[in-house]
Amino acid sequence: MVDQLLLHIDGRNVPAADGGTFTVASPTTGEVLFEVSHATPADVDVAVAAARAAYLDRRWWGIPARDRARVLNRAAAILADRVDDLAREETRQIGRTLREMRAQLRRLPEWLEYFGALAATWEGTVPDFGPNHLNVVRRVPLGVAGLITPWNHPLLITMKKVAAALGAGNSIVVKPSELGPAVPLALAGILEEAGVPAGVVNVVPGLGPTTGRALSEHRGLDKLDITGGTETGRVVAANAGRNLVPVTAELGGKAPVIVFDDAPVEAAVAGALFASFIATGQTCVQGARLLVQRTIHDEVVQALVARTRALRLGDPLDPQTQIGPLVSQAQRAKVVEAVGRAQAQGATVLCGGRVPEDPGLSHGWFYEPTVIGGITPDHDLWHEEVFGPVVVVAPFDDEGDAVAKANDCPYGLAASVWGADTGRCLRTAQALDVGIVWVNDHHRVDPASPWGGTKESGLGTENGVDSFRGYTRPHSIIVSTAAQPFDWFASTQELRYS
């Protein structure tokens, strides 16, 4: 039976104003899993109004910060209890392997705990204002935040934004991806069960060009926070900008993985596989460009190709499966087209590069993990984000060449550097024009560690104190402490303004 999913507005699950729906199908089998209410612009208005009312009467941000933290900690505990069910749901919806979704979701309570701890311990400042005044600066919530999220980590990315926004005391309206709305909707229920008041968390599933557009154009927002593709980010940021709504945007990437000649080959190849093929390559920080020092290039590529060929594709709910399907027919078509174009431009497919022939996989959007050589900066595939299980490999000569090749990219989200010479790895890391660099690792994320990119990878940051701060604004109170009354017009002396 197909499950029905409704909008979540002001603490209630409600259908769309016009009764409209869309469906979510399994990327593994094609079967329809959910019929989801499609929020209209009128529904977005109601959700923003509910969030505004919750902000204005201070039902959430007016309670002591340590009580807000307690509620977030309770939500973390409920979430921890339900992780296995939610992980299964994520796997059914988006096709990522159950093993990956369990590993990811098990960490998500930490985001609620971390931002709860920041809420409970955050302090204002008292800047020096001269002898006759005391200046108290509090950080207060912005108000109503619109959150637009993608499908590739439906709960992780929603959680990064929700935990920071709620910790700082905001009310929110979430527009989850049309491909993965179930678990973000479940999160709203968990938060309210833990004690977040109705109206603070609203979820409006729908399509980008309708529901997402209505939210991004809404004049009732105080912040818009999106994770998505770079072109979507431009449109959404322009919409919000017209209303002078500040934007945080986590966008596309094309992360380089740099392997120096002193890296143990086995470890570097294991790292490259992890960087490139987790989530079937559908992550913004995917190691999409493997740059290997020329002296060990052939050895590394040979080992990488052998291990890539051995990866097991299959039903993502099966614990033995290592690579699930791509999320949708459109996503697979994009990968097929990008690889075909690379071949037409002269690149060589070293393994994969095709839809698998196994009839057992014919109902899903599978694509073989692919390694491509013979690639140069003249090829489209050097620069463009494919968002699939495709990695290009190229040699470099020395540290300077590695940095130049890595930085030759419109994106600047993440990179990793592999090698035994710590000084060289750190020099290289510091020279990379990206937001996040891992050394001898990849993909690691923590609620305390900033996450955001340079160039076309976006604006602002998630995680850490900067993210919390970005959901607040200063509220400055200046108190006169002067012993004498102040009367400007009673005198012609040069009086101080402060």
Per annotation, catalytic residue among 284, 351, 409, 425? 284
Tell me if residue 161 is catalytic. yes
| Residue 260 or 382 having the CB closest to ligand NDP | 382
In the set 90, 399, 456, 462, the catalytic residue is 462
Residue from 28, 216, 276, 370 touching ligand NDP (CB under 6 A): that is 216
In the complex with ligand NDP, the residue whose CB is nearer, 22 or 60, is: 22
Which of 217, 250, 385, 399 is flagged as catalytic? 250
- Of residues 248 and 472, the one with the C-beta less far from ligand NDP: 248
Residue 177 or 293 having the CB closest to ligand NDP: 177
Active site residue 284: yes
Q: Does 177 bind ligand NDP (CB under 6 A)?
A: yes
C-beta of 148 vs 313, nearer to ligand NDP: 148
Considering only residues 278 to 297 of the shown chain, the ones binding ligand NDP according to CB under 6 A are 284
Contacts (CB under 6 A) with ligand NDP, residues 419-458: 453, 457-458
Using the contact rule CB under 6 A, the part of the chain among 24-32, 46-54, 56-64, 205-213 near ligand NDP is 205-213
- Quick check: 212 binds ligand NDP (CB under 6 A)? yes
Only one of the segments 25-33, 36-44, 102-110, 171-179 lies at the binding site for ligand NDP (rule: CB under 6 A); that segment is: 171-179
Based on CB atoms, which residue is closest to ligand NDP, 178 or 315? 178
49 part of the interface to ligand NDP, by CB under 6 A = no
3-state secondary structure the chain: CCEEECEEECCEEECCCCCCEEEEECCCCCCEEEEEECCCHHHHHHHHHHHHHHHHCCCCCCCCHHHHHHHHHHHHHHHHHHHHHHHHHHHHHHCCCHHHHHHHHCCCHHHHHHHHHHHHHCCCECCCCCCCEEEEEEEEECCEEEEECCCCCHHHHHHHHHHHHHHCCCEEEEECCCCCCHHHHHHHHHHHHHCCCCCCEEECCCCHHHHHHHHHCCCCCCEEEEECCHHHHHHHHHHHHHCCCCEEEECCCCEEEEECCCCCHHHHHHHHHHHHHHHHHCCCCCEEEEEEEHHHHHHHHHHHHHHHHCCCECCCCCCCCCECCCCCHHHHHHHHHHHHHHHHCCCEEEECCCCCCCHHHCCCCCCCCEEEECCCCCCHHHHCCCCCCEEEEEEECCHHHHHHHHHCCCEECEEEEECCCHHHHHHHHHHCCCCEEEECCCCCCCCCCCECCEECCEECCECHHHHHHHCEEEEEEEEECCCCCCCHHHCCCCCCCC
Interacting positions 227-246 with ligand NDP (CB under 6 A): 227-229, 232, 235-236
184 binds ligand NDP (CB under 6 A): no
Q: Of 178, 368, 399, 456, which one interacts with ligand NDP (CB under 6 A)?
A: 178
Among 160, 161, 175, 405, the active-site one is 161
Q: How far is the CB of 402 from ligand NDP (least distance, A)?
A: 23
What amino acid positions are annotated as catalytic residues? 161, 250, 284, 462
Binding positions for ligand NDP, rule: CB under 6 A:
148-152, 157, 175, 177-178, 207-209, 212-213, 216, 227-229, 232, 235-236, 250-253, 284, 385, 387, 413, 453, 457-458
